[in-house]
Structure 1
Amino acid sequence: MEPSGYADGFARDSLPDESDWPDFRFDRPSVQYPKRLNAAAELLDGAIEKGWGDRAAVYSEARTLTYAELAVEANRLAHVLVDDLDLVSGERVLIHGPNSIDMMVAWYGVLKAGGIAVMTMPLLREPEITKIVRKAKIRLALCAAPLKEAVENSMAQNSGLKRIALTGEGEDVVRLMAGKPDEFRACDTAADDVALLAFTSGTTGEPKACAHFHRSVLAMADTFGAMLAPAPGDIYAGTPPFAFTFGLGAFVVFPARAGIAVALASRPGFEALCETIQRFGVTHTFTAPTGYRAMIGLKDAYDLSSLKGGVSAGEHLPEATWRAWKDATGVSLVDGIGATEMIHIFISATGRKIRPGATGQAVPGYDAKVIGEDGRPVPDGEIGKLAVRGPTGCLYLADDRQKIYVQDGWNITGDLYRRDPDGYFWYVSRADDLIVASGYNIAGPEVEQALLMHDAVAECAVVGQACEDRGTIVAAHIVLKQPLLAGDEMAKELQDFVKLTIAPYKYPRAIHFTDALPKTQTGKIQRFRLKS
């Protein structure tokens, strides 16, 4: 590794032993970076050097910033961090708030000043914040004023937090920034210094901190981000929080790398996203399949005609949802699988290479294969575990689970896939979503896909349910478009429909109608909460 630019060596010292690292691959020129690199400087200062300073960087209901103005705010905040908040390079800084210009400035300012950004989901409560603070040994937090309670409560629990600086109009960070210089010399970080810690979400138990280097931040833009072929005038928008690396890439990193803009919604939710699309002429959306299904129902109330592209991630995009969105908007969605451990999407397809229902092919720069229990590739068409390697990879901070995720240099994502002879990867299920009923292996997502083809079904989640007679049965939790239709007659109709759509033995023997499915803040269905 290149000598670190950090005075605080905690993050590098807490990385796994290099023998447990994934096999990082830098075969393509686009992901070959200099040894000294600060991602924030490369993105912001780089945008200005390319002549993009006057281009709009971010739109919001409150204000709009060009790249030059965004750089000034980030530089002023970096001065505040070093001069007033005593940031030591290499320190981890908690960034807590909703998607906003303030949080974007915070992320850039922290990296420029030599801090390690730890962005957190805005709805986290004190116990969740405290786990993160203790694991990452965080002293300083930048927090949106309306969400300060959870962070203050964490500090009261002696979590390790010593200082909370509030962002927002009239708050201390803004006052301190007012008198600072417009320029800031970015910290001289190594390309393999840790730039951010991304904590896994949507699971129970001890959170995992995924460390990503400065070079990895750029790599997600120079691999999948480049596949999207961003063009001048494009405007990105969507629902994933910045704390979710899907959102960080889509709304912070990708636009700056290409000199295009992001439009930030004023509040969470799919109606707010539709409003943002209409107001700012958004061209590309980023959300989970849940979001696209919801927006189909909202399209007549909003002008979505500016859309020309969209990315779906967070969970498998069913073919039925892909076709429904295409019919409703004329837009072909780009599906993709990524992971917090990998920082962003590593299997996808765009343009004419899209095959509805398939996730896609390995993103240029990445290798992918399907392996069996012995770790060897299985023949095309057979189901196995997905293994990936490329310019990014899993580096858990001080966590024994590193040896589970990385094996023989490959990242084992926990997904079951099959690959076809053309190199397309077809999602089967999460490894722990495979339902074994009466000796048959049944993939829950396949049953979900069948149910979603029925006109009455708005959303569904299929899991295994304990059964005294059969051990496990297939159970479907269903949200109907017209809830009043719920009942035995509809359950029988849906069961018969599934029997006619896929192999009859896969039909859901239990149907549970519900008003809503449990989800993470990123829109991912929490199937573990439905299992019994």
Structure 2
Amino acid sequence: MELHPSAHADTFSRDRLPPPEQWPELLFELPELQYPARLNCGAELVDRPLEEFRADRPALRVPSGRVWSYGELREHTDQIAFVLTHDLGVVPGNRVLLRGPTTPWMVACWLAVLKAGAVVVTVLAQQRASELATICEIAQVSHALCDVRTVDDLAKAEVPGLRITAFGGDAPDDLVRRAAIKPTRYDAVDTASDDVALIAFTSGTTGRPKGCMHFHRDVLAIADTFSRHVLKPEPDDVFTGSPPLGFTFGLGGLVIFPLRVGASALLLEQSGPKQLLPALAEHRVSVLFTAPTAYRLMLDELTAPPASSAAASYDLSALRRCVSAGENLPASTWQAWYERTGLRIINGIGATELLHIFISAADDEIRPGTTGRPVPGWHACVVAADGTEVPDGEPGLLAVRGPVGCRYLADERQQVYVRDGWNLTGDTYVRDAEGYFHYVARADDMIVSAGYNIAGPEVEEALLRHPDVREAAVVGRADELRGQVVTAYVVVRDGVPRSEETVALLRDFVKGELVPYKCPREIVFLEVLPRTPTGKLQRFRLRSAGNVQ
């Protein structure tokens, strides 16, 4: 596959793209996906809205009530771009790491790196020194822009040659102070549409984390497929959500999608379920991005049935779009949220390797308990281990292709993820006769017990239907006789005893929901389940406890 001439002086990223024969097949079937050869997505997101809307239009909001307009966002972005290129010596193609809570300054830094033609590497504020050191080593990061509150761990990483610039503090050389005296208009670097714009790292739950390289056109493609055709945002929408910008779920939902249509985003540094509900009500949020667990926990706060479309305890009348991703959305959670709020959750599956959601459904197309159908611009099928497509109704591996594809940064695992032109996500799915995709499990979440294949998420859904269960995670524990036995980790509601009697009640309940061989042989009570900052369940941590596989 021939690439356009690069604008990168530092060719590290392009030099480490997988060889063309290891790429998935890319599809650009929709007219809106026909991007020009020269494209800078930072300019598209921060400059283009000013061509259509007034400069005082709201772009970014914070809980205090402070609002950045599109004009202010562009000024701050451009001034930071000047600091990057004129003061810090960043050249096109350099990797620039961003670290900090979800704030307007983080968004301005992200856009500035792109406009300067560099490659942005956004990490989590929670990641520790050893993790940061690994990421910096893999991506050969030369510069970092870091919220002053999260500098310490990055400094402890002791990355050779890394130049760290803090923002949000009182130091004379603080990025915000340096930017304030710079010109307010910066001409974006004339990058190619297939120049690398960002490197998003997988969580690294198994082995060394993988860097996923995405082009400038990819950033726009996720807005022009899922957001445009499924979410269908409007310019007056107010977005918010729980995922941080270090996850591409949050990057899309809180930055790319609203800016693409001239909407605004409420940025929350604290975004747990208890913070989300008051924020939704106070700021008249209309589009929400969060994980299934957050929807379930917010239901506990919505104790009274709604009078209309708004819950009695919080005014959610402005809310019109609820998006769920990161893990499987149980049908029971979908139904309970709908009954309580009158809102239909838009379920979806995405991947860091593909940047955002590629299977989903909205409105009357939603079928609770399914993920949905391929988003316009994407294709999906279910295949066997040998790559042949399996009949509808039979489980297999989910295979996907569209305008964005997996391109690992110099990683031999590219050949595992991409096969025969398809991206294999590592999920087991079933497609039905109507073309809807039903999640079964992560391929490594299948439990094989006494010859039976048992999907952990199916057992979790059964447990979650019991009124005393708040959260559940099911994994396989090694067993000499059966190979594996089903082990459930459960968080019960306040006041429910963690006793053998409760264990017996839950086991009997599951037996009434599923065939007996799927019933947990062991039930362990926990205070909380291990989760990522976006709420995604970390089953690998449960497997590593004791002799669980």
Aligned with residue 100 of structure 1, among 96, 100, 103: 103
8 Å contact kept, 2:243–2:250:
yes
Aligned with residue 317 of structure 2, among 302, 305, 311: 305
User: CA shift at 1:482, angstroms?
Assistant: 2.5
Aligned with residue 459 of structure 2, among 434, 444, 447: 447
Query: What is the rounded CA distance, in whole Å, between the counterparts of 2:427 and 2:269 in structure 1?
Result: 34
Aligned with residue 121 of structure 1, among 121, 124, 136: 124
Query: What is the rounded CA distance, in whole Å, between the counterparts of 2:79 and 2:288 in structure 1?
Result: 31
Letter in 1 for 2:167: T
Instruction: Report the equivalent of 2:183.
Output: 181
Aligned with residue 397 of structure 1, among 409, 432, 455: 409
Query: What is the rounded CA distance, in whole Å, between the counterparts of 2:494 and 2:170 in structure 1?
Result: 46
Instruction: Report the equivalent of 1:163.
Output: 163
The secondary structure found in structure 2 opposite 1:479 is strand
Query: What is the rounded CA distance, in whole Å, between the counterparts of 1:322 and 1:162 in structure 2?
Result: 46
Query: Residues 507-527 of structure 1, C-alpha deviation per residue, up to 9 Å, x if partnerless?
Result: 111111111101111111111
- Alignment map for 1:348-359 (pairs within 5 Å): 348-359=360-371
Query: What is the rounded CA distance, in whole Å, between the counterparts of 1:298 and 1:151 in structure 2?
Result: 37
- Alignment map for 1:116-515 (pairs within 5 Å): 116-155=119-158, 159-171=159-171, 172-201=174-203, 203-226=205-228, 227-299=230-302, 302-482=314-494, 484-515=496-527
Query: Residues 251-282 of structure 1, C-alpha deviation per residue, up to 9 Å, x if partnerless?
Result: 01000111111101242422222232122111
- Alignment map for 1:55-70 (pairs within 5 Å): 55-62=57-64, 63-70=66-73
Query: What is the rounded CA distance, in whole Å, between the counterparts of 1:409 and 1:514 in structure 2?
Result: 43
Residue segments in structure 2 that go unaligned for 5+ positions in a row: 304-312
Q: Percent identity?
A: 50
Query: Residues 332-388 of structure 1, C-alpha deviation per residue, up to 9 Å, x if partnerless?
Result: 000000000000000000110000000000000000000011201100000000000
The secondary structure found in structure 2 opposite 1:236 is strand
Letter in 2 for 1:191: S
Q: How many residues align?
A: 529
8 Å contact kept, 2:53–2:262:
no
Instruction: Report the equivalent of 2:91.
Output: 88
Instruction: Report the equivalent of 2:306.
Output: none
Task: Normalising by structure 2, report the TM-score.
Answer: 0.95
The secondary structure found in structure 2 opposite 1:322 is helix
Letter in 2 for 1:393: G
Letter in 1 for 2:277: C
User: CA shift at 1:502, angstroms?
Assistant: 1.6
8 Å contact kept, 2:322–2:345:
yes
Letter in 1 for 2:423: N
8 Å contact kept, 1:195–1:214:
yes
Letter in 2 for 1:201: S
Query: What is the rounded CA distance, in whole Å, between the counterparts of 1:290 and 1:52 in structure 2?
Result: 38
- Alignment map for 1:39-54 (pairs within 5 Å): 39-54=41-56
The secondary structure found in structure 2 opposite 1:530 is helix
**How big is the alpha-carbon RMSD for the aligned residues of Structure 1 and Structure 2?**
1.1
The secondary structure found in structure 2 opposite 1:225 is helix
User: CA shift at 1:468, angstroms?
Assistant: 2.9
8 Å contact kept, 2:459–2:519:
yes
The secondary structure found in structure 2 opposite 1:25 is coil
User: CA shift at 1:169, angstroms?
Assistant: 4.6
8 Å contact kept, 1:52–1:259:
no
User: CA shift at 1:52, angstroms?
Assistant: 4.5
8 Å contact kept, 2:148–2:169:
no
Aligned with residue 76 of structure 2, among 62, 73, 88: 73
Letter in 2 for 1:433: D
The secondary structure found in structure 2 opposite 1:336 is strand
Query: Residues 59-104 of structure 1, C-alpha deviation per residue, up to 9 Å, x if partnerless?
Result: 1035211111101110000001001111011000000001111100
User: CA shift at 1:11, angstroms?
Assistant: 0.3
User: CA shift at 1:467, angstroms?
Assistant: 2.0
Query: What is the rounded CA distance, in whole Å, between the counterparts of 1:126 and 1:304 in structure 2?
Result: 40
Residue segments in structure 1 that go unaligned for 5+ positions in a row: none
Query: What is the rounded CA distance, in whole Å, between the counterparts of 1:373 and 1:265 in structure 2?
Result: 42
8 Å contact kept, 2:200–2:211:
yes
Bigger CA drift: 245-254 or 264-273? 264-273
